[in-house]
Amino acid sequence: MTNRMILLAPLVLAFVTSVTASADKIPLGAIFEQGTDEVQSAFKFAMLNHNQNITSRRFELQAYVDVINTADAFKLSRLICNKFQRGVFAMLGAVSPDSFDTLHSYSNTFQMPFVTPWFPEKVLAPSSGFLDYAISMRPEYHQAIIDTVRYYGWDRIIYLYDSNDGLLRLQQIYQGLYPGNESFQVSTVRRIGNVSEALHFLRSLEDQSRWTHKYVVLDCSADMAKEIVVSHVRDISLGKRTYHYLLSGLIMDDRWESEVIEYGAINITGFRIIDTSRRYVKDFLEGWRRLDPATSHGAGRESISAQAALMYDAVFVLVEAFNKLLRKKPDLFRNNFRRGLIFNNGSRGLDCNTSGGWVTPWEHGDKISRFLRKVEIEGLTGEVRFSEDGRRQNYTLHVVEMTVNSAMVKVAEWSDESGFTPVAAKYVRLKPNAHIEKNRTYIVTTILEEPYIMLRTPEHGEILTGNDRFEGYCKDLADLIAKKLGINYELRIVKDGKYGAENPEVKGGWDGMVGELVRQEADIAIASMTITSERERVIDFSKPFMSLGISIMIKKPVKQKPGVFSFLNPLSKEIWVCVIFSYIGVSIVLFTVSRFSPYEWRLLHLSGEHRDPGGQNGAHGSMANDFSILNSLWFALGAFMQQGCDISPRSVSGRIVGSVWWFFTLILISSYTANLAAFLTVERMVAPINSPEDLVSQTEVEYGTLYHGSTWDFFRRSQITLYSKMWEFMNSRKHVFVRTYDEGIRRVRMSKGKYALLIESPKNDYINEREPCDTMKVGRNLDAKGFGVATPLGSPLRDGINLAVLSLKENGELTKLTNRWWYDRTECKHGDKQDASRNELSLSNVAGIFYILIGGLLLALAVALIEFCYKSHAEATRAKIPLSDAMKAKARLTIGGGRDIDNGRYYTPANQIASNAEQEQAHSNTHTQV
């Protein structure tokens, strides 16, 4: 913890080096969080005003001030105890919610009065019957938010907050909506950590519903609220008139007009607690404005924030409480001052570190706290009065609006007694006082860049003068605007060849076209100049005449021609492997079912003549089966090649195998044939990069942008994770940045696909249409912005140019200009474009035919087994032998095969199954043919 111990005495605030106490000095303890400079300045100013009022004050205030930067409870406890040991009569503070809990606990334990500008949400009061020694200067106004939303008739709101207090305030709003009485719903709640997160969320709302009205309750600090609103207005991808912000904090007392009113296209409503029309406030602001900002941070302005005003009032609330107390009992504190020290109940100061397990409270703490609740004064924040529990009452808030092109106006008042009371708003339309001079030639500054402004090539014998020396998109745009306004103009190329950036070395602090406008050297700038917040502070922009974004330019990949084995490409490798195994499996299953099925066997004589199995079979007959393993492989191959075969299965099981194999090959060959033509004829281009995510996920292709350009600045400032990673990559490799776009384009073309340029999308599109036609744009735009016509601040031309640009956009003239200079003058051929998005089939595309094939094979095996068992049973019945003997005999035949003729084609019949010598006809114990 870094502490600054400050003794504030008869101020300027001159710091007192002595801690000697006297009866006319009342010591106070003050603790502030770091970052509350304006609140501290208001505290010092209040102490100064009281101590310098020698004629009417009864006592002098001296303060022991600490500025902390941590919420460490132990360190904070030691700091508070140090204050107590010094003998302070009361405490003031402006600390974070974490620090407040500790300070609040000590205040109630030691009965030390504690006045703070604001309570964190959900501050728990002491147990029943005990007095809360803390008092908050900020009033509770959750009902004011509810009444304001109802006044505007919003049925759904979006709640954005940046802290735990914001979420607790939302809870209070919910509790204020009684059943059956809520006229609106909180549709979306989102915590935002910074401005980028807020804008990212708002863009997602735009993507879902661009044209619906969006009512946003924004609960955050004044600085963040200003930045969000200003960034929203300047973001051309976000709607303006469809949004209405309600700033729920007391942040409208800050000066907003100079920061937002120039941008004008969004509705803002908020609350003010300081009424600047009151005489007391005017007198205060007069003295506040005279303070030196170097020594009193946040002062020296014409306005004061609500937090600082509440702290100023807090000091005078304590002063009034002590005045009341001393008027009633003038000698109340006399016994506390002894020998230049402060005593409490006979002991010096307050001792926090008592070992007896009990504490000695501040003997006058209860009296001071009760008198604090009886204070009634006129402060900066209106009438200051407290209830018995130390909360503000009888206060008034002003509901103010900043509407489109209007200054801040009060539309209603809200008080805790009368509620929401609308007032007649006096809207002020801001209009420039000057007028357009028709008989004057206005200077238009621009910059040479294709295709916006180019030097025109004269024809033979032609002499070009004036504006005829130039051609391009911006030249035509200038002609159209001049015609709309009825003015004359002269085109001039900017002297230093720059767009415009802050440069303290030149007059006006800006160079380029922006600098010429700032120095009044030109009246209008018409060029491919991006609208940015930095430029908007010093010049005015029209509505964007061209929308664009950061895009990726890469070299066109070389077209891939089919290779020698490209006929395999229509099917993936895994499919080809599965087909091979399927072919082998089908052949084996066909061979197996043919061996088991009796219907695949035929009766033959040794002479080779085929005999009918139903006829007589002598002792020299043999059985034949066409489906040996080689024949099975041949049958499956013939079916796969769709050529057929000289043999075919006769049994049901064999035919099932053949049928499912034919169906499998039908689908597979048809799919293969359908894809083959495309893969053999189309020359596909495979881009190595297709999105910014692809750029981030690799390091082989480097990427960069124009050094110190708006794109460079976008990545440098971006807090989006993806773009931050891209900035880290580029910033660690300084060589990826280029000095000019021509250098970057040349680098893309010479890098053989190893460099990508981040460039504005219109420039990207234009280059892609120029010879040698070897670059291309990939992926989406990384952001959204626009080119605008610029004028000096307060120029009378601004409104006229705005209307002209909107008119040209509505009647399609700007679209015609874009087509004329980008696409009608293309040097690249696009007639032979082919679909480059064909993909090979994957296993999931044809998995069904494999399932059918496997099912058919299993079914064939089952049918063959049934046939085997059935035929064995039939022969066992005819031969009057046991079933097991018949099955064994057939199994030996199936496994052993024939012995009479080689290669397994002919088999010896089992014509003697029984051991007796009876001679039976051949058909009684042999397989018969179906």
The secondary structure of residue 659, as a DSSP letter, is H
pLDDT in tens, 10-40: 333 333 333 344 447 888 999 888 888 889 9
Nearest to 187 by CA among 211, 217, 230: 217
Average pLDDT value over all residues in the chain: 79
Of 328, 359, 363, residue with least CA distance to 343: 363
Give the pLDDT score at 470.
Answer: 93
For residues 404 and 264, give the distance between their C-alpha atoms in angstroms, rounded to a whole number.
5
Lowest mean pLDDT among 501-515, 608-622, 795-809, 875-889: 608-622
**What sign has the CA pseudo-torsion 92, 98, 99, 104?**
positive
The secondary structure element, H or E, covering residue 135 is strand 134-136
For residue 893, the number of C-alpha atoms closer than 13 Å in the C-beta half-sphere is: 31
> How confident is the model at residue 179, as a pLDDT?
64
With 0.75 as the threshold, say if the pTM is over it. no
**pLDDT at residue 917 in the model:** 35
- Distance separating alpha carbons of residues 686 and 709, to the nearest angstrom: 31
Tokens of 113: 């009065």
Instruction: Describe the strand order of the beta sheet including 396-402 as a list of residue ranges.
Output: 185-191, 156-161, 214-219, 243-247, 267-272, 396-402, 408-415, 419-422
- Spatial separation of the C-alpha atoms in residues 585 and 640, rounded to whole Å: 13
Q: What is the pLDDT of residue 758?
A: 92
Q: Is the pLDDT of residue 257 over 70?
A: no
Beta strands 243-247 and 267-272: pairing type?
Answer: parallel
CA angle, 18 as apex, 16 and 22 as ends, to 5°?
A: 100
How far is C-alpha 39 from the chain's CA centre? Answer: 34
Q: Is the pLDDT of residue 472 over 50?
A: yes
Beta strands in 591-739 (DSSP E): 601-605, 610-611, 621-625, 702-704
Distance between CA 714 and CA 724 in Å, rounded?
10
Residue 2 has a pLDDT of: 39
Residue 882 CA to residue 876 CA, distance in Å, equals 6
CA neighbours closer than 13 Å in the CB half-sphere of residue 344: 20
CA distances from 787 to 493, 532, 820, 821 (A): 18, 10, 18, 16
Mean pLDDT of 721-738: 90
Q: Of all helices (H) and strands (E), which one includes residue 44?
A: helix 37-51
| CB neighbours of residue 686 within 10 Å | 10
Task: Report the distance separating Cα 208 and Cα 847, nearest Å.
Answer: 38
Torsion 73-76-81-87 (CA) sign: negative
Give residues with Cβ within 8 angstroms of 474, minimum separation 6: 446, 452, 453, 526, 527, 528
Rounded-to-integer distance, Cα 637 and Cα 632, Å: 9
Tell me how crowded residue 326 is: count the other CB atoms within 10 A of its CB. Answer: 16
Say which residue, 356 or 608, is predicted with more confidence: 356
Torsion, Cα of 474, 479, 484, 490 (10° steps) = 100
β-bridge pairing 341-344 and 6-8: unpaired
**Mean pLDDT within 648-652:** 85
pLDDT, residue 236, reads 56
**Reduced to 3 DSSP states, what percent helix, strand and coil does the chain have, rounded to the nearest 5?**
40, 20, 40
- In DSSP terms, 413 is beta-bridged to 398, 421
pLDDT tens figures, 845-876: 556 668 878 888 898 888 888 888 888 888 88
Residue 537 has pLDDT above 90, yes or no: no
Place of tokens 């000695």: 360
- Alpha-carbon distance 858 to 138, whole Å? 82
Question: The tokens 């990726």 sit on which residue?
Answer: 552
pLDDT at 756: 92
Three-state helix/strand/coil letters over 380-402: CCEEEEECCCCCECCCEEEEEEE
Asked if 212 and 245 count as a contact pair (C-beta separation under 8 A), the reply is no
Please tell me the least confidently modeled range out of 190-204, 254-268, 483-497: 254-268
Confidence of residue 8 (pLDDT cuts 50, 70, 90): very low
| Secondary structure letter of residue 18 according to DSSP | -
Mean pLDDT of 253-260: 60
Alpha helices in 28-109 (DSSP H): 37-51, 73-85, 97-109
Residue burial 15-40, b: 16+ Cβ < 10 Å; e: rest: ebeeeebeeebbbbbbbbbeebbbbb
For the ranges 22-36, 283-297, 553-567, 676-690, the maximum mean pLDDT occurs at 283-297
pLDDT of residue 130: 63
Least confident window among 161-175, 180-194, 668-682, 762-776: 668-682
The pLDDT-based confidence of 924 (bands split at 50, 70, 90) is very low
Residue with structure tokens 């035509």? 476
d(CA 550, CA 706): 11
Rounded to the nearest angstrom, the gap between the alpha carbon of residue 133 and the centroid of all alpha carbons in its chain is 45
Return d(Cα 848, Cα 575) in angstroms, integer.
12
* pLDDT of res. 424: 79
